[in-house]
Amino acid sequence: MKIREIESFDAFMTYGSVTRAAEAMNISQPMVSRLLSKFEQSVGFALFQRTGNQLTPTREAEQFQATIARSLISLNELKTQARAIANQQTGAIRITAQPSHADTYLLNAVAAFKRSHPNVLITINDLGLEGVLETVSSGNSDLGIGITLNLKHPMLEMTKLATCQAICVLPREHKLAGFETIDIDLLHDESFIDLALGSPLRTRIDYIFQVAGWSRKTSAEARTVRVVTKLVEQNVGIAVLDPFAQFMIDPQKAIALPLTPKIEWDVTLFHTKRPLTQIENQFIHHIQTELATQKGKLGFL
């Protein structure tokens, strides 16, 4: 059975005549007649009673029509799905990111992507770096975003998205808030609000201050940058954070200033060692575009 023959039969059964079927299919009447004849031969039983030039459906044809109609609906769904995939308008992307990324620029990237890909489902999960690596390598997430400190992973491809530097977040009324740049030696007697132990950023900050020759006083710890910034706003202490913290602070309550010496790391995209789909590539492009937009504000290099 050929698709065009099936379509001609459906058109005839729907419109009741060869003439109207031809009009609906935008082909000639003789062509419809030939398609119907070939289709009748292929099914192996009589579909029509012929009286002169008139065709009358048999009971078997009427019975068969229900199956034909369902099949054409499924075929049209296949065509629609194929066009949607070709036009990058269907599918799903699961992304896992560290909270400071999931809470900030990633949201803008998702919104921009959805405007041009409204039927693609985006699922966002936020975890620490170990969780990001685990979900992506296990196939439970398609893409991951996190910071890397000379990180290597045997199962994952890594693509650098940006290099950024740490900032110092201070209460608005802090004595150092009027400085343009904060040298770490100025922070010797300050109380710090830190990310939890095990955070890659916390590890890098601890190392930098150890190299400077003094330890820090930690007054509070939290898992996410958002919680840390809120504690700074409450004047619990100061914090050294990634530049995405600027999205989270209330400028009436806190200020973010660059640090010297610089504390730098890469923001990286993770995925398994497989070809990316077209919609994944499009989504990554929106992430890169959003990061480029924020480059000057956030202190990317």
Cα three-residue angle 20-22-27, rounded to 5 degrees: 155
Q: Which of 33, 57, 31 is nearest to 45 (CA)?
A: 57
Measure the CA–CA gap between 200 and 202, rounded to whole angstroms: 5
Give the closest residue to 265 by CA, choosing from 157, 150, 127: 150
3-state secondary structure 258-270: EEECCCEEEEEEE
| Per-residue pLDDT tens listing for the chain (301 residues) | 788 888 888 888 888 888 898 998 899 989 998 999 898 888 888 888 888 778 888 888 888 887 887 787 777 766 755 665 665 556 788 999 999 899 899 999 999 999 988 888 889 999 888 889 999 998 889 999 998 776 677 789 999 998 888 899 999 999 999 999 999 889 988 999 999 887 888 888 888 888 888 888 899 999 899 999 999 999 999 999 989 999 899 999 999 999 988 888 889 999 998 889 888 999 999 999 999 888 877 766 5
How distant is the alpha carbon of residue 225 from its chain centre?
Answer: 22
User: What pTM was estimated for this model as a whole?
Assistant: 0.68
Instruction: Print burial letters for 53-71: b (CB count within 10 Å at least 16), e (below 16).
Output: eebebeeebeebbeebeee
Burial 161-186 (b: 16+ CB within 10 A, else e): bbebbbbbbbbeebebeeeeebebee
